[in-house]
Amino acid sequence: MVLPYMSLLFIWGILPIFMAFLEVPHESRANPDGGWDAFKIVVQDFRFLPALIHVLQFMAIFVPSTLIAVIVFSLMLDLNPGKWKKYLRLAFIMPASVSGAVAVLVWYAMLQPTFSPLQGPLKFFGITDSAQVFQTDNLPVILGIMAFFSIAGYWIVIQYGSLQSISNEVIEAARIDGCSGFQLALRIKLPMIKKYIIYMCILIFAGGLQIFVEPQLLNEGIQRGMAEDWSLDQLAYTLAFMDGDFGGAASLAILLLIPTLILALIIIYKTDMFEEANDEIRTKKERA
């Protein structure tokens, strides 16, 4: 039953990582002698540190805001049953159906003071020209907003589905014991969907670290130079297809992979994500 998944994991996960490791020591203009110095050369590149800072600033806005909003709205959606719930789910999922490329155009229109539907709030904050908005220093906030609305609704619906797996008997027992709605959410519901939240956290972190489409389109379509090599993925793209340094691009890709794997392993094993599975295996062994 796991063979289809393992096949796809090997083709699209393990094999590309193996190929990246083979590509790193190849000779290039940046690394004419070849070898594993490609990692050192990439880290010492003048574009690496600014790109790293940009991505960390973006993630400091995007990751916490997305996690908090998803948890709060999914709990609110699960609070009381009603006929409007299906329409609310649809309202949450619709923004998530907008791809990154379209989201850039939508939010450019939203933040363009000339024809934005938010002209009133923008003028209130003294914004009358698009040049005041679309600046390199503002990109962590702008891209954080774009990414948030592109993915938050999708996860709200998923976490709402995870809340539906909680037994009604458990909820009723907690209410009989005097749990308020807040206590029910904090002490009953959240601990019971902990594994889904951990899974969401890992994927959101990995997705944020690999931001590429939004800054690339802003740089190419809105203002040239505004987001030049702004993110680490953009830098990898430049190394591979502009500079011809495939070894450097491969080494940067591996450097991006390492923190994601480390974080995932720490979160999984420090939070006992597989606790129930281990308990089931232990019980079966005892019975045998």
Neighbours of 31 (CB within 10 A): 22
Structural domain tally of the chain?
2
Mean local confidence (pLDDT), 227-244? 92
Residues 206 and 64 in one domain: yes
Helices then strands, each counted (H, E), the chain = 16, 0
Residue 8 belongs to a domain: no
Residue 119 has pLDDT above 60, yes or no: yes
- Scored b (16 or more CB within 10 A) or e, 162-199 reads bbeeeeeeebeebeeeebeeeebbeebbeebbebbbbb
Residue 13 belongs to a domain: no
Report d(CA 282, CA 285) in Å as an integer. 5
Residue 140 belongs to a domain: yes
Which tokens go with 104? Answer: 């850039």
Residues 25 and 67 in one domain: no
Tens-place pLDDT, residues 57-82: 999 999 999 999 999 999 988 876 66
Residue 135 has pLDDT above 90, yes or no: no
Residues 113 and 134 in one domain: yes
Residues 60 and 192 in one domain: yes
Residues 164 and 240 in one domain: no
Nearest residue to 249 (alpha-carbon basis) of 218, 222, 212, 217: 212
Residues 160 and 259 in one domain: no
Residue 201 belongs to a domain: yes
Report d(CA 241, CA 255) in Å as an integer. 19
Q: Is the dihedral of CA 179, 180, 185, 186 positive or negative?
A: negative
Residues 190 and 119 in one domain: yes
Residues 43 and 76 in one domain: no
pLDDT band at 6 (very low <50, low <70, confident <90, very high): very high
Residue 281 has pLDDT above 50, yes or no: no
Residues 134 and 226 sit within 8 Å (Cβ to Cβ): yes
- pLDDT for position 252: 93
Residue 221 has, within 13 A of its CA and on its CB side, a CA count of 15
Residues 94 and 216 in one domain: yes
Residue 6 belongs to a domain: no
Among candidate residues 204, 227, 250, the one where a domain is terminated? 227
Among candidate residues 181, 208, 227, the one where a domain is terminated? 227
CA 103, 154, 55: angle at the middle one, nearest 5?
55
Tens-place pLDDT, residues 81-103: 666 777 777 777 777 677 667 88
Q: Say which CATH number the domain at 72 has.
A: 1.10.3720.10
User: Which residue, chain included where needed, has tokens 């960390």?
Assistant: 56
Residue 205 belongs to a domain: yes
Domain that holds residue 41: 18-47+229-288
Among candidate residues 227, 260, 277, the one where a domain is terminated? 227
0.75 surpassed by pTM: yes
Residues 131 and 253 in one domain: no
User: Which residue, chain included where needed, has tokens 């490329």?
Assistant: 101
Residues 229 and 241 sit within 8 Å (Cβ to Cβ): no
Residues 15 and 7 sit within 8 Å (Cβ to Cβ): no
Average pLDDT of the chain to the nearest whole number = 85
DSSP 138: G
Residues 84 and 140 in one domain: yes
Question: For residue 255, what are the CA distances in angstroms to 19, 125, 232, 236, 249?
Answer: 14, 40, 10, 11, 10
Name the CA radius of gyration of the chain, rounded. 23
Residue 5 belongs to a domain: no
Residue 257 belongs to a domain: yes
* Most distant pair of Cα atoms in the chain: their distance: 73
Residues 117 and 22 in one domain: no
Mean local confidence (pLDDT), 40-44? 93
